Every structure is written in structure tokens, then in C-alpha cells.
Structure 1
Amino acid sequence: MATPPDGPVLGPTLAEWFKARDETRRHLEASQAPVDEEWVQRLADLLATERSWQDQYTELLALGRTDGKFPRSQR
């Protein structure tokens, strides 16, 4: 998908989403049962950040559609 030179760029958003996913994965891998409240809060914060980047990436991809909306999943 081509974007105007001054338009949105997918690459950095995708990179940040993957970075957030990796940070969440590392946090999960480092856990040991039982987890404490601080660990759970950190996971909630990481997941919110990951979701935010995913939403931004999805919105940018939707710019390539004529209706400007990301399609619903067929799964």
C-alpha cells in the first residue's frame, strides 16, 4: 500500500507493536507461581500498551480500503 510522503507510515507502528508483544512475552516467561499484585498490574499495563499499538496499526491498514474501515475477521 502506497502512502503519501507526508502521510502515515506503517513500519514504525508495526515495530512498536512487535516490541510491546515481545516485552509482554518476556514478562510472562519470567513469572513464577504464585504471581503477586504488582506482577498482575504490570501485565495489565503491558497488554494495554500492546492493544493500543495493535489498534493503531489496524487503523493505519484500514486507510488502504475504500471505506476506510478494517474488515471484520472471517474466523
Structure 2
Amino acid sequence: MSEEQGGPVLDSTLAEWFTAREETTRHLQSATPPVDTAWVQRLADLLATERSWQDQYTELIAVGRRDGRFPPSNR
């Protein structure tokens, strides 16, 4: 969705998110315990950001529904 349509612009945020997830995957595939502290902090930051995005998306989707609630999963 573009700014002209009145929605959030997510392209750069999504690109950073995908990059961080790819880095995490690479690190997990090559890491041996113990995992370094800096990487653990980056993962914690990524997870906190991901949770924040989930909360924001839930709110955005609920705005478009008559009952103002996030729809139930079909899975």
C-alpha cells in the first residue's frame, strides 16, 4: 500500500525484516554453542520488532472490519 492510498509504507521495513531473518538462519546453521552475546541481542531485538509488527498488523486489519476485531484463523 502506498502513502497516496493513505496506508503504511512497508517496503524498506519488510526488506530489513527479511534480511534479519536470513542472517538469523545463516547464523543458526553455522553456530556452535555458546552463541555470542551480540548475536543473542540482535535476535532479541528482531523478535521484539516482529511482535510489534504483528500487533500493528492486527490493529490495521481490525480497522476494516465491522466488529473491530481481528478475524479468526482458517487453519
Mark the runs of 5 or more structure 2 residues left unpaired by the alignment: none
Structure 1 pair 73/16, CA: closer, same or farther in 2 (3 Å)?
A: farther
| Structure holding more helix per residue | 2
* Greater RCO (CA < 8 Å, at least 6 residues apart): 1
Match of residue 74 from structure 2 = 74
Q: How many pairs does the alignment contain? A: 67
Say if 2:31 is the partner of 1:33. Answer: yes
Q: Quote the sequence identity (%).
A: 54
- The runs of at least 4 consecutive aligned structure 1 residues that moved more than 4 Å come to none
Alignment-mate amino acid for residue 37 of structure 1: T
Q: Distance in 1 between matches of 2:51 and 2:62?
A: 16
Mark the runs of 5 or more structure 1 residues left unpaired by the alignment: none
Structure 1 pair 72/17, CA: closer, same or farther in 2 (3 Å)?
A: farther
TM-score (norm 2): 0.66
Match of residue 45 from structure 1 = 45
Alignment-mate amino acid for residue 33 of structure 1: A
Q: Distance in 2 between matches of 1:60 and 1:46?
A: 21
